[in-house]
Amino acid sequence: MKFFTDLIDLLLPESCAGCGGVPILLCDACAVPLRAPARPVRATPDGLPPPWTVAAYEDPLRSILAAYKEHGRTALAVPLGEALARSIRAALAPHLTSPARNTSPAWNEGRGATGEQPPQRAAPRDDRVLRLGHDPPIVVWVPSRRRAVRRRGHDAVQGLVDVAAGRLRADGVPVIGVDALKQRGRVADQAALTATQRTANLQGALEVKPQADVAGRLAVLVDDVVTTGASLGEAARALRAAGADLLGAATVAATPRRRP
Ligand SMILES: [Zn+2]
């Protein structure tokens, strides 16, 4: 399916996914929101690390995401994934500030036979900093409903994670995208629900796949858009229940808060 949509992209000249103007994938003006620095989202549900985001979920970004997710313009995964990479990097930043020190396994084994004293291990400010040296953090995304994946012909958020993880690794930040979560059953469409209803609707909606090994792993949670944070909150619950150590959450865009 992706092959055909890519082929259509290639053969049919299309206009900018943001404004419909110039005949390119994304014009410079519409790409501006995706080039912003990452910022934390204000309000989040209990138990969720403050998510990071890049753009406001309003036009042109709303049109760009719709073109990518619903209208087969999969090449938009690149500019969107690059923005997501910045957001993931911000979530990881507190754990990347100190380089991994004293992580050589030999230092942990002692060298009594040669009379050499093993060096003192510096007390880490946060032992997760040290563990980054051994175990690359996993990037886990909120899964789309199966019906949506079938209709679209691709898993939209997974496509963004692939681009973002590639960008981060190229920049020396080792992360691995892991398809760890699945929908447990039928969940009502969230669009028309209030924040409280969304949380109730999603309670227990996600679970970690049996074959996904997330126990003890450092994890960053990802979604394309954060609205109330209910989906990320439920994903955080499922990941923690399976023993993952959640470092933070990252999205491409956040719904602007409505003024009362
Ligand atoms: Zn444009």
Residues near ion ligand 1 (CB < 5 Å) are: 16, 18-19, 27, 30
- The C-alpha angle with vertex 129 and arms to 126 and 133, in degrees rounded to 5, equals 150
Assigned token pair, 9 = 């992209």
Q: How far is the CA of 29 from the centre of ligand 1 (A)?
A: 6
Cut 0.85: pTM above it: no
| pLDDT value at residue 102 | 40
Q: How far is the CA of 125 from the centre of ligand 1 (A)?
A: 46
Q: Given a cut of 80, is residue 258 above it in pLDDT?
A: no
Q: 29-33, 71-75, 112-116, 250-254: which has the minimum mean pLDDT? A: 112-116
**How much is the mean pLDDT over the chain?**
82
Inter-CA distances, 188 with 73, 99, 181, 193, 200, Å: 27, 44, 18, 9, 11
Question: How do the domains of the chain map onto residue ranges?
Answer: 2-98+124-185+192-254
Q: What amino acid is encoded at 124 in this protein? A: P
Q: How far is the CA of 159 from the centre of ligand 1 (A)?
A: 22
Long-range contacts of 13-18 (CB under 8 A, 24+ apart): 14/73, 17/60, 17/63, 17/64, 17/67, 17/68, 17/73, 17/76, 18/59, 18/60, 18/61, 18/63, 18/64
Q: How far is the CA of 143 from the centre of ligand 1 (A)?
A: 29
Q: How far is the CA of 27 from the centre of ligand 1 (A)?
A: 4
From 3.30.565, 3.40.50, 3.30.70, 3.30.420, which CATH number describes the 2-98+124-185+192-254 domain? 3.40.50
Q: How far is the CA of 183 from the centre of ligand 1 (A)?
A: 35
Q: Are 223 and 69 in contact (CB under 8 A)?
A: no
| pLDDT value at residue 202 | 73
Residue 204: left if φ>0, alpha if ψ -120 to 50, beta else—which one? left
Q: How far is the CA of 19 from the centre of ligand 1 (A)?
A: 4
pLDDT digits (tens, 9 = 90+) for 3-36: 665 665 555 567 999 999 888 999 999 999 999 9
